[in-house]
Structure 1
Amino acid sequence: MEQDLVHLVKNDPNYQKLVKTRSRYGWMLAWSVMVVYYGFTALNAFGKEFMAGKIGDGVMSRGVPLGLFVIFFTVAVTGIYVRRANREFDALTDAIHKNAAAHAKQPEEVKA
C-alpha cells in the first residue's frame, strides 16, 4: 500500500512540476547569492584600494555599504524564495496531498 502511494506521488504531474521548478529556482537563487558573496570576498582580497576608497569627504569606505548590500541581498533573496514557496509551491504540495488522499480513500477494486 505504501509503495503504491509513493509510486502515485512520484507519477503525479504536480509533484514532477514541483520538484523541477523548486530545484531550478532554488539553484538560481543560491548561485546569485554565491556570486554576490564571493564577489564581495574577492573584492576584499584583490581590490583593496577600491574597497578602502572613501565615500565623499567622510570616513566611510566603499566596503561598508557593499558589505551591507551583501547582507540585505541575502535577506531579500530569502524573502523572494519564501514568497514564491508560499504562493506556488504550497499550492502544488496541497494538490499532491489531495490527490494522494483521494487515492487512499478509494476501495481496492477501484485502484487496480
Structure 2
Amino acid sequence: MTPHHSPHSPVHERIIANPKFQRLARQRAILAWSLSALVLAIYYLFIVLVAFVPGWLHLPLYEGSHLSRGIPLGAAIIIFCWLLTAWYVRHANTRFDALSAEILEENHA
C-alpha cells in the first residue's frame, strides 16, 4: 500500500463525489468568504476614517464629554465582529454539522 492510499479511500472518494458534500463545501466557502469580506470592509472603512477624517473621530461623543467618537466606534466594531463570529459558530453547529452528519450516515450505510 502506498502512503496515498488508505483503507478508507473508497469512502473518502464517495463522500467527495456526493452532491450534498459538494453543496456543503460550496455553502461553507461562500459564507466564509462573504463574512471575511464584510469584516475586512468594516476594518478598512475604519482605517479610511482614521486617515482622511481623523478630526471627526477626535470630536467629543457629546457636549462636555471626555470620550471621543473613535472609542465607541472602535468598540462597536469589535463587538460586531464578536457577534458575527458567534452567529457563524451557531450557524455552522446547526446547519453545517447536521448536513455533515447526514452525509457521513449515507456513506457508512
Aligned residues: 102
Q: Secondary structure in 2 aligned to 1:5?
A: helix
The gaps in structure 1 that reach 5 residues or longer are 103-112
Task: Look up the match of 2:4.
Answer: none
Which of 9, 12, 15 matches 1:6?
12
Which of 60, 65, 81 matches 1:54?
60
Q: Percent identity?
A: 32
Distance 1:5 1:42 in 2: 50
Q: How big is the shift at 1:3?
A: 2.5
Is structure 2 residue 100 aligned with structure 1 residue 87?
no
**Aligned partner of 1:38: which letter?**
Y
Normalising by structure 2, we get a TM-score of 0.87
> RMSD across aligned C-alpha pairs, in angstroms?
1.2
The gaps in structure 2 that reach 5 residues or longer are 1-6
Q: Which has the higher helix share?
A: 1
Normalising by structure 1, we get a TM-score of 0.85
